Amino acid sequence: MLMNRIVTLIFFLFTNIAVAQQLTLKGSIRDADGFPIPFATIVKEGSSIGTSANKEGHFNLSLPEGRHQLSISAVGYKQKTITVKPPQHDSLIIHLDGEIYTLQEVVIGNREDPAYSIIRKAIKKRPYYLKETGPYHAHVYIKGLQRLIKAPKKFFGVDMNEIGEEIGLDSARKGIIYLSESESKITVNPPKDFKEEMISSKISGDNKAFSFNRASELQLNFYENYQHIVEGLSNRPFISPIADNALAYYRYQYLGTAEEKGKTIIKIKVIPKRKAEPLYKGNIYIIEGEWRIHSVNFLLDKESSINFVDSLNLKQLYTEVTENKWMPSNIQLDFKAGLLGFQVGGYFTAIYQNYTFIDAPDKRLFREVLSISGDVNKKDSLYWAKNRPVPLSPEEQKDYIAKDSLYRFHQSKAYLDSIDRKNNRFKPLTFLTSGYNYRNRYKKESIRFNGLLTSMLFNSVEGLAINYGINYNRQLDSGLNRYFRINGRIRYGFANKHLNGIVSTDLPVKNQTFVLSGGRDVLDLNNQGSLPTLLNSLYTLFVGENYQKLYEKTFASIAWSNTLPGNIKISLQAEWSNRHWLPNASGFTFRDRNSNKLTSNNPLQPDADVPLFTDNKSTKVRVGLSYDFSNRYAMYPTGKRYLVSKYPTFGIQYTKGIKNVLGSDVDYDLLTTSVQKNNMGLGLYGKVSFSVSAGSFFNNKQLFYPDYKHFNGNRILLVDQQLSSFLALDYYQYSTPSNFVEAHMEYNLGGMFVSKVPLLRKLKLEELIGLHYLHTSELSNYSELHVGLQWKMIRLMYAHSRSAAQPLNQTNTLRIALKLF
């Protein structure tokens, strides 16, 4: 017992001595006029220990007792070195002078700006500096803040004052809408290998969530030829001002030199040669003689062809952490955006410190790209006060306190019940148009009733029909995002007087999902789908073109799916069904003359309403397997999530129709293989998507039209176009019970040419070129070529087809498509 007390006392003394020796230096960075310099960098010389000032110029830095030399830097300001001795200097005000770059007389032939010679040398050294540092560890702190600057009083009838009060905005509907901090340890083996282990995470107003801040998403390396920055920010990657091909895209202007610790820093203005290209504008700073990057200050705006935001300012500062090894010390992204009366702004700042250079790690280490354990969001305010390298501003402190209080209130049963009472009020007009949703937030369950009007449809088989659904959802696990679901649907055709109904349920079990379903339903003869029900209703009623062909199926089905280690996805399904062909029961159209254009419900005999197939029963099983060779994953508290592979996804599916089981009439075997890849990046030259599949009915003793292999065709102007869609193929005529080969490819040029047309480039259009191919024994060879333009999710496409089948040969079609893949 005495020994335990002695050990405890010794531990207590040493702990307090260590704490006493580690002191916090506080200060403020200001310019010559006394204004704060946001996000200036403070580094202890000869080390990678450092911090950054906040938006108001304030900083904290933990240092041992004793004398230290600090280097203070900010892009556009003259670096300053000071000596401090905590605790004598516990609070400082440090002034930085604006950097004065002296123009020197540099004579180069042909009166070329001297910046070009410097940039050429930097380009030549780029591959070396890309890999110079070798493998290393580092500590990264990231803070992200987004602020609502302006909002309308009402938005589509919604009171924004009420919404603002719910999320903690002020009376003018302004304030912080996202504030988060995170700490990570990164392991990097340049140029590509990267692993991040999140140490701590904090989100204002949600102590259960994990920060969206990712060091992996703030890898701004201008030694790379191209930078993606943020997914979706541009249709093409941005071109570095020192990329191999940079001289074809940029003009440069020499702005002068300045001295910093015996090194000459050259300031060069970067000017895009063309508008609407993924190019930076601003300044790059190069170290003379070494021709490496010292810092950058770039702007991306609408002329840079960016999406989502109006402007994005990027600043990056390098620091010499050891001799001849310069590493990023901070990265700063500031953005502004506006849409539909809303204006937002914010920033993300990343502080890099504690660099440690290591031997090359095992390549297998980098399979786990991101690791987030379940306790990273459990750190308390004392931890953050001690470890946060960038002090909070008064506004941020206030936001944490207010949002945490608001979060606790929003989780209370009284609050959740009050919200439910308000939102669960029944509104007849809303019920007719969009439906009714009854929700119990405290129990995490809801019941959804579809809208009556939106459940109405029309086709020539049922006439006017209602397809009404009710859905029940209960959240089982918020961490794993698992739900128990029951979906029911009743369908009645007023012309054929058929009443149908189905019910299905999702049963999640750990990482597996079971789906049970059964009932009687009306289905499309093409199991790939023909055209959306709403469009079929409109075309039938207004034009007399009843493209959709239907049949009735009574069925019971069980399905299981799971993701195995290695991102191998497997699925199993067993189904029994009784299938019945349906004749037309209605010849109604809004204009009598259009009723003569209606065709029968037999797509192979459109002029005769004769059965396409006899009533039959089917028992079948299906097994599917897919693999994308992905060996990179992120580990979350909820489990492993594989990242998108750079390789195509290979799939195989086997379907067996089993005769005489439960009265089954079918007897066939279908084996299908596929390979596909979406959005395969080609750098500056856009992206390619492709899908190839082939299949064989190596046993087709007995099968019926619904068992055929069907293809995704199109017959109307407005289409829901997928990668695997044909643009001019009939929905039903070319389905096959024999072997087939199907291929699709699309090349998205990302605005490569349209961006050079003055008026069109403002629309940010993307050029499209596509090829489609189909081979069956009945059709022989069929191909389509399409070209088009895409604006956001809308496409205008022209397609030309070639085929041995005369109706399909040399056809030209125009399509307006909604892109959903």
* pLDDT single digits (tens) 274-302: 988 999 999 999 999 999 999 999 999 98
- Do 460 and 601 form a contact (C-beta atoms < 8 A)? yes
User: Is the predicted pLDDT of residue 34 greater than 70, yes or no?
Assistant: yes
Please give the pLDDT value at position 210: 61
User: Is the predicted pLDDT of residue 764 greater than 90, yes or no?
Assistant: no
What secondary structure letter does DSSP report for 700?
E
- Residue 396, class by beta-carbon neighbours within 10 Å (0-12 exposed, 13-18 middle, 19+ buried)? buried
Q: Quote the distance between the C-alpha of residue 761 and its chain's center.
A: 25
Please give the pLDDT value at position 211: 66
Instruction: Assign 4 to helix, strand or coil.
Output: helix
Please give the helix or strand (H or E) that residue 114 lies within, else none: helix 114-131
Q: Which residue has the higher pLDDT, 461 or 484?
A: 461
CB-based contacts of 777, cutoff 8 Å, min separation 6: 736, 738, 739
Measure the CA–CA gap between 85 and 742, rounded to whole angstroms. 74
Q: Which residue has the higher pLDDT, 67 or 358?
A: 358
Joined tokens for residue 365: 């280490």
User: Is the predicted pLDDT of residue 423 greater than 90, yes or no?
Assistant: no
Please give the pLDDT value at position 276: 87
Q: Which residue has the higher pLDDT, 260 or 624?
A: 624
Q: Which residues of 687-704 are buried (b: 16+ CB within 10 A; e: fewer)?
A: bbbbbbbebbbeebeebb
Please give the pLDDT value at position 16: 37
Please give the pLDDT value at position 316: 94
Return the percentage of the chain with pLDDT > 90, whole number: 55
pLDDT tens track for 124-146:
999 999 988 889 999 999 999 99
pLDDT tens track for 223-243:
999 998 888 888 899 999 999
**Predicted confidence band at 11 (pLDDT cuts at 50, 70, 90)?**
very low
Phi, psi of 597, deg, nearest 5: -85, -10
From residue 373, give the alpha-carbon distance in Å to each of 8, 410, 480, 640. Answer: 30, 26, 14, 11
One-letter amino acid at 445 equals: E
Please give the helix or strand (H or E) that residue 161 lies within, else none: helix 160-166
Please give the pLDDT value at position 104: 66
- Domains delineated in the chain: 2-96 (2.60.40.10), 114-371+378-409 (no CATH), 496-665 (no CATH), 675-821 (no CATH)
**Through-space distance between the first and last CA atoms of the chain, rounded to whole angstroms:** 69
Q: What is the CA radius of gyration of the chain?
A: 32
- Residue 715, class by beta-carbon neighbours within 10 Å (0-12 exposed, 13-18 middle, 19+ buried)? middle
User: Is the predicted pLDDT of residue 502 greater than 60, yes or no?
Assistant: yes
Measure the CA–CA gap between 70 and 589, rounded to whole angstroms. 83
Measure the CA–CA gap between 751 and 278, rounded to whole angstroms. 10
Of 113-117, 413-417, 710-714, give the lowest mean pLDDT range.
413-417
- The dihedral over CA atoms of 598, 604, 607, 611, expressed in degrees to the nearest 10, equals -100
User: Is the predicted pLDDT of residue 1 greater than 60, yes or no?
Assistant: no
User: Is the predicted pLDDT of residue 108 greater than 70, yes or no?
Assistant: no
User: Is the predicted pLDDT of residue 452 greater than 50, yes or no?
Assistant: yes
Instruction: Assign 454 to helix, strand or coil.
Output: helix
- Do 466 and 449 form a contact (C-beta atoms < 8 A)? no
DSSP 428-469: HHHHHHT-EEEEETTTTEEEEE--TGGGEEEETTTEEEEEEE
- Do 601 and 585 form a contact (C-beta atoms < 8 A)? no
Please give the pLDDT value at position 8: 33
Please give the helix or strand (H or E) that residue 522 lies within, else none: strand 512-524
User: Is the predicted pLDDT of residue 538 greater than 60, yes or no?
Assistant: yes
Joined tokens for residue 774: 């189909």
Please give the pLDDT value at position 7: 34
- Tokens 């696990």 belong to 477
Instruction: Establish how many alpha carbons lie within 13 A of residue 671's alpha carbon, considering only the half-sphere containing its beta carbon.
Output: 3
Highest mean pLDDT among 400-409, 415-424, 679-688: 679-688
Measure the CA–CA gap between 278 and 301, rounded to whole angstroms. 10
pLDDT tens track for 173-204:
888 889 999 999 999 999 889 999 999 999 88
**Predicted confidence band at 401 (pLDDT cuts at 50, 70, 90)?**
confident
**Predicted confidence band at 5 (pLDDT cuts at 50, 70, 90)?**
very low
Please give the pLDDT value at position 89: 60
- Cis-peptide into 706, omega within 30 deg: no
Instruction: Assign 291 to helix, strand or coil.
Output: coil
Instruction: Assign 123 to helix, strand or coil.
Output: helix
CB-based contacts of 208, cutoff 8 Å, min separation 6: 377, 478
Please give the pLDDT value at position 323: 81
User: Is the predicted pLDDT of residue 64 greater than 90, yes or no?
Assistant: no
Measure the CA–CA gap between 798 and 817, rounded to whole angstroms. 11
- Tokens 């002078």 belong to 97
Joined tokens for residue 38: 């946001």
Q: Which residue has the higher pLDDT, 87 or 521?
A: 521
Query: Shortest CA distance to 250 belongs to which of 403, 429, 119?
Result: 119
From residue 254, give the alpha-carbon distance in Å to each of 281, 283, 288. Answer: 14, 10, 13
From residue 207, give the alpha-carbon distance in Å to each of 349, 375, 475, 585, 620. Answer: 21, 11, 19, 59, 49
User: Is the predicted pLDDT of residue 696 greater than 90, yes or no?
Assistant: yes
User: Is the predicted pLDDT of residue 12 greater than 80, yes or no?
Assistant: no
Measure the CA–CA gap between 289 and 360, rounded to whole angstroms. 29
Of 99-108, 420-429, 743-752, give the lowest mean pLDDT range.
99-108
